[in-house]
Amino acid sequence: MIIKEQYRIYLVEDDGMLAEEISKLLLKWGYDVWIAAMFDNIMDEFLTIQPHVVLMDVNIPSFDGFHWCKKIREISSVPVIYISSRDSNMDIIMGMNNGGDDYLTKPFDNAVLVAKLQAVIRRAYEYNYQESQVLRCRGLTVHIEGAVAIYEDKKCELTKNELKILKLLMESQGKIVTREALMRGLWDDEIYVNENTLTVNVNRVRLKLEEFGLRSFITTKKGMGYVIL
């Protein structure tokens, strides 16, 4: 099952008041914010937090933000947005050359910060999230976007209802999915799904899986529903 989690932001900013201001702003937008505490040990904090995005000041104690961004790039492709009072073209170029994804100069508008953060998150995670909806179970792979099932070197296309049935069952692997839940999943604004329609569609899915050699992939629990064990 694919689950979208709350995005964690690692804020590397040595101005305590500004860090608190940014943190409160991002918390209101639903982000999980971690403020850097050890400026001589940014990598240890980064590895502990495992953030989705880093907001990196440039002028910080010990080593500057360019140094830490370069270190992060050695082990991770996590997006890094610089927030800095250094606004020369050379600084911006240096930031990008050291692996930054965007550069925001201080003072900045809060709305611009949020917009840039949302943009890098969409590029790094949400577009990929939509493109990578793939379910795997007992060797069977189902590509949601393409409505295709693959097992070993065999491949078959799925109808809309067959895809919905497999998706519901594979996302709940090990748990019984009731017939009522499956019918609700298949029912749209135009077509009401009754008991007979559900049975026909489940049998069609089973036949396609049997052609792969996957017999008993879907187990019937009499009087309860179906389950993939």
pLDDT tens digits along 103-120:
999 999 999 999 999 989
- The pLDDT-based confidence of 90 (bands split at 50, 70, 90) is very high
pTM: 0.56
Contact 77, 52 (CB under 8 A): no
Domains 8-131 and 134-227 alike in fold:
no
Place of tokens 């305590």: 16
Please give the order of strands across the beta sheet that includes 134-137. 134-137, 140-143, 148-151, 154-157
The CATH number that domain 134-227 falls under is: 1.10.10.10
Q: Which range among 13-22, 82-91, 187-196 shows the weakest confidence by mean pLDDT?
A: 187-196
Name the residue ranges covered by the structural domains of the chain: 8-131, 134-227
Q: What is the DSSP string of 134-200?
A: EEEETTEEEETTTTEEEETTEEEE--HHHHHHHHHHHHTTTS-EEHHHHHHHH--SS----HHHHHH
Fold for 8-131, please state it: Rossmann fold (3.40.50)
Segment 167-183 mean pLDDT: 88
pLDDT at 136: 85
